[in-house]
Copies of this chain bind each other. A is one copy, B any other.
Amino acid sequence: MRYKKMKAWLHQCPGEIPQGIAAPCEMAEYELNNAFPESAWTIRVVPEMKDGYRIRQENGSWVLTGGDTGVLYGAYAMIRKYYSGQPAPAAEESAPRYALRMINCWDNADGTVERGYSGRSLFFEGGHFAYDSGRMRELGRLLASVGLNVLCINNVNVHDPAQLLLEDYLPEAAELAAILRPFGVRLMFSVDYSQPMRHGITTADPLDPAVRKWWKDTAARVWEAIPDLAGFLVKADSEGRPGPFTYGRNHAEGANMLAEAVKPYGGVVVWRCFVYNCRQDWRDLETDRPKAAYEHYAYLDGQFSDNVILQVKHGPFDFQVREPLSPLLLAMKKTNLAMELQLAQEYTGHQIDLYTMAPMWKELFEEMPSGNIMSIAAVSNLGRDENYTGHPLAAVNLYTFGLLAWNPDMDMETSVSEWIRLTYSLSEKDTGDLQRVLLSSRRIYEKYTAPLGIGWMVTPHDHYGPNPSGYEYDLWGTYHKADRNAVGIDRTEHGTGYLLQYPEDFRIKYEKPETCPDLMLLFYHRLPYTFRMKDGRTMIQRIYDDHFEGLEETEKMAAVIRSIPFPEPDFSCIVRRMDMQLRNAREWCDIINTFFHRLSGIDDEKGRKIYL
C-alpha cells in the first residue's frame, strides 16, 4: 500500500515509520535522527526512570536519558517543540504524573463504534480484526508523541464476538500489540464478566472455584501471548452488563477475583464505576442518579487489591457539558482511582460542533486535590476517517488529553497553540484566532445548550440536538422537573442529599443558591424563574441571555473559522460542519428559550424573538 501523508499532527515527520524497530528506545533514536538529521544525539537508557526523561546539551551534542519509554517521550517532546517552532530547551526534565494514560476505544467487532463520530473502527470489521498496519504505526506515533501508553481496543460493552479477544483472536491481538510495542503503547482488553459461562461453567460468581480457575487459566494464556498486556477493563453490573451483583457479591469481591488472576503478570484490572439504576422510574423522587457511584463504591474503600484501579467518570452523571467533580473521586483515599474523560463528543456535539475540552478538564483538576488519582483514561474519539477524529479540529482533544495525562498542570493555551502549529501552517494571526476560537468553544456550546448545569436536554439515544423533555418521563434518572414556577432538583441536604457526599469545603461552596457558582446553579438547586442571580438578573433572563449570546458567538466563531485558510480537504470539512453547528445552535437557542417561555410566561427583557 502506498504511503499517504499522515493526516494529523506530526505530519511533518518525514517518511513511513519502519517496521523493523522493536523497542521504544530504538524508536526514539529513529525519530530523532529523522527529525534532526544535522544534530548529534546520545541516548542513555536508565530503566528505573521508566517513562521519565532528562535532556541536556553536552559539548554541542544532545544527551537524552530516560527509561526505555522515557527516552521516546523525550524524543517526541523535542520533536513537538521543533515542528511547532518553539526554541529547543537548554535542558529539560520530565516524568508523567499518572502511571497509566489510557485511551478506551468503544469499538465493536462488527466494525461499528459506540458513540463514534469518526467513521468505522480502526481495528475491526465484520466480526474480525481488520486494520491497516501502516495506520497502526501512525496511531502508535500519535499516541506516544503525547505520552499516552495504554490502548483498550474494544468496547466496554463486550458484544459478541469481541469476547474472542481472549480466545480465538488472541494471536491476531498479539500481532497488533507487537506493532504498538515500539511506541510504548500497551494493549488492554475489555472483558465480559460472564465469560466463564460460555465454557460450561454454570456461574460467573467471583467466589466460585471453577470461575476463579477459569480466569487464572485464561490470564496465563493471554499473558503468554501478550506479555506486556496492560490489563482488563470491566463494565460490570452496569446498563445491563453482567457482574457480581447477580451472585450477591460486592464489587470488591468481583474485582479482586480478576485482580488475583492477572497479578502474576503485572496486569491491572480497571473496574468502571458507572453503576446506577438505569431503570429508574421518573415518578420515583427518592432515587437521585448522581448519588449512585458513591453509594455503590465509597464504603468499599480499602478493600480493593493493589492492582485494581477504579475508573470513575469525571462527573456523577455521564459526560455532560457541565457536571461537578464526582464525589467518589474525593472519597476513596485507600483505593487506586482513575478519572475517566470522554474525547468522543457524545453529548458535546458529535464532532460536528466545535468543543475543545481542555478548559473543562482544567476546571475539574482545580477542584481535585493532587494525588487523588493514579491514572487517567479517556473514551476515544478515533475512527477510520482519514483525519482520525471526524472533525479535523477535534484532534486537539486527543492531543491535549495526552499532555494533561502527563501533567495536569499543563498550560492549555500553550498546548492548544502547539497542536495548531503542529497541524497547520497558519499565520500568527490565524493561529491566534484559531486558538481563541478553540478555547472559547466549550463555553459557547454550553451557552446554547442546557442551561446552568441542568444537562440532558438532548435528543434521546442519539444525543445530538435539543429536546428539553426528551428524558423527562423516561427511565434514566435524568430529570429537570421544570414546571410553570421553577426548575431543577434540590440536591442539598434539604433535597436528595447528594451534596452530603462531598467534603465540607465543597459543600459550603455549592449549598446555598445565593453563593453557588452560577453555572452549577440548577444542578444543585430547584429555583423559581424569578430567582435573582448574583449579578441581579433573574434566572429566566440569564437563560435567555446565555442562549442568545451562545448563538451570536457561534455566528462570530463561524466567521472566524471561514476566514482561516485551512488546507483542503480540511477546509471544506470544517466549514461544512460549522454550517451544521450553526443550525444546531439556532435550534438549541430557539427551542430552549421557547420551552422556558411557555412554562414561565416571562418575556425577554430585551425584546428579542422568542417563538410561540
Interface, chain A (partner B; CB < 8 A)? 282-283, 285, 466-469, 473, 481-485, 587, 590-591, 594-595, 597-601, 611-612
B466 x A473 contact (CB < 8 A):
yes
How many whole Å from A108's CB to the nearest CB in chain B?
Answer: 23
14 contacts between A and B (CB under 8 A): A283-B611, A467-B473, A468-B473, A473-B591, A481-B612, A482-B598, A483-B597, A483-B612, A484-B484, A484-B599, A484-B600, A485-B601, A598-B599, A599-B599
Q: How far is the CA of A600 from the CA of B481 in the complex (A)?
A: 14
Q: How far is the CA of A483 from the CA of B612 in the complex (A)?
A: 9
A598 x B467 contact (CB < 8 A):
no
Q: How far is the CA of A598 from the CA of B486 in the complex (A)?
A: 10
Residues of chain B lying within 8 A (CB to CB) of residue A468: 469, 473
How many whole Å from A610's CB to the nearest CB in chain B?
Answer: 10
Q: How far is the CA of A282 from the CA of B473 in the complex (A)?
A: 22
What number of copies of this chain does the assembly contain? 2
B285 x A483 contact (CB < 8 A):
no
How many whole Å from A170's CB to the nearest CB in chain B?
Answer: 35
Instruction: Please judge, given known A-B contacts A467-B473, A469-B468, A469-B469, whether A483 and B611 are in contact too, CB under 8 Å.
Output: no
Residues of chain B lying within 8 A (CB to CB) of residue A612: 285, 481, 483
B484 x A601 contact (CB < 8 A):
yes
A598 x B484 contact (CB < 8 A):
yes
Residues of chain B lying within 8 A (CB to CB) of residue A473: 466-468, 587, 591, 594-595
Residues of chain B lying within 8 A (CB to CB) of residue A282: 611
- The 7 A-B pairs at the shortest CB distance, nearest first, are namely A483-B598, A484-B484, A283-B611, A473-B591, A484-B601, A469-B469, A484-B599
How many whole Å from A33's CB to the nearest CB in chain B?
Answer: 56
Which residue of the partner chain B has the closest CB to A609? B283
How many whole Å from A600's CB to the nearest CB in chain B?
Answer: 7
Q: How far is the CA of A598 from the CA of B611 in the complex (A)?
A: 20
Residues of chain B lying within 8 A (CB to CB) of residue A285: 612
Which residue of the partner chain B has the closest CB to A599? B484
How many whole Å from A586's CB to the nearest CB in chain B?
Answer: 10
Residues of chain B lying within 8 A (CB to CB) of residue A599: 483-484, 598-599
Residues of chain B lying within 8 A (CB to CB) of residue A597: 483
Q: How far is the CA of A484 from the CA of B597 in the complex (A)?
A: 9
Which residue of the partner chain B has the closest CB to A486? B598
5 extra interface residue pairs, beta carbon distance < 8 Å, beyond A467-B473, A484-B484: A283-B611, A473-B587, A483-B599, A483-B601, A598-B599
Residues of chain B lying within 8 A (CB to CB) of residue A598: 481-484, 599
